[in-house]
Amino acid sequence: MEVNNRSELTVIILAAGEGKRMKSDMAKVAHRICGKPLAGYVLEAALGTGAGDCVVIVGHREDQVRACLGDKVKYVSQKKQLGTGHAVMQAADIIASKTALSDVMVLYGDTPLITAETLKEAISAHRLSENAVTVITADVPDPSGYGRIIRGSGDRIKRIVEHRDASPEERQIKEINSGMYCYKAGELLKALDRLDNRNEQGEYYLTDTVAILAEGGKKAGAFKTADSREIAGINDRVQLAGAAAIIRERILRGHMLGGVTIADPGAVYIEAEAVIGRDSEILPGSFIEGRTIIGERCLIGPGSRITEAEIGDGCKVACSVITGGKIPPGSNIGPFEYINAYMQKGNGQK
């Protein structure tokens, strides 16, 4: 399902938070899975929608976030982290520069499992329903700790209630808020103007915009994802490892469907930006990292590590390490060779 007309969609990615539970000197969204930062996966999904503008809200360790994402996006600084609503307020001038009926999607930089296909489906549902706001939701077996979706007449959303504020009946609801939203730009600006921070945390919550719009008679709808894993945020190293397992599986599956043989997927590590040609085979204990390009009909492994290198068609690399450089087609490397093009030393090629 395609999203047409790039100028009609702006994506805002919230990436200003500190992420204290990561217990790290790094910005949370700069932590990497398979060689790519968390926010990089979100940006990739956002760009996959055909968005005209991608805007990243930065704050804590913003230099690291900017370094991770480069110049594909616009950046807006949130000097004080006063809540998700406050973060989006920082992009108000950009939102105001769009037409009132254009769409704005808000995402989080710590949700690396979200896919472009899901986002495109959510945007299409939002437009088809002519909603002022559409919340991306999911049903989960254990919704403890999540905001619950409270629906009213016509299956519209009335409000979102946080777990701590929910009644016993509301806590039985399995449909949760992902924190990802699609808005009509004009309606979002009006709702932001009405946000206040009269709450226990003294923060401006983007969640409140849904109730503001619904109470004002605007259509607030939901797009429910089929795979609840896609909306999972990363808050600590345990969740980071869980997301990494899913992304590794996606990467390996993509290569296998593209014609690469991986006899034991559990014993192979391939990073997100690697390219592998058809009819190549990756044996156990192999690590393929960075922007490595492996040609067709290659045999890699067992026990090889290739980083930022280009391997020609028909090569064999057994029990060896290659860092950088180009290996000519038909070369046989190893066993037990070390080739480092950056240091200009190694045992050579056979």
As annotated, the active-site residues are 21
DSSP string across 251-275 = HHHHHHHTT-EES-GGGEEE-TT-E
Tokens representing 151 are 């629906």
- Report the C-alpha gap between 186 and 292 in whole angstroms: 45
* Closest by Cα among 250, 303, 308 to 274: 308
Q: What's the length of the chain?
A: 350
Tokens representing 177 are 């808020």
Residues 6+ apart with CB under 8 A from 227: 118, 138
DSSP string across 228-252 = GGGG----SHHHHHHHHHHHHHHHH
- Report the C-alpha gap between 56 and 71 in whole angstroms: 11
Q: Return the residue matching tokens 């709450």.
A: 199
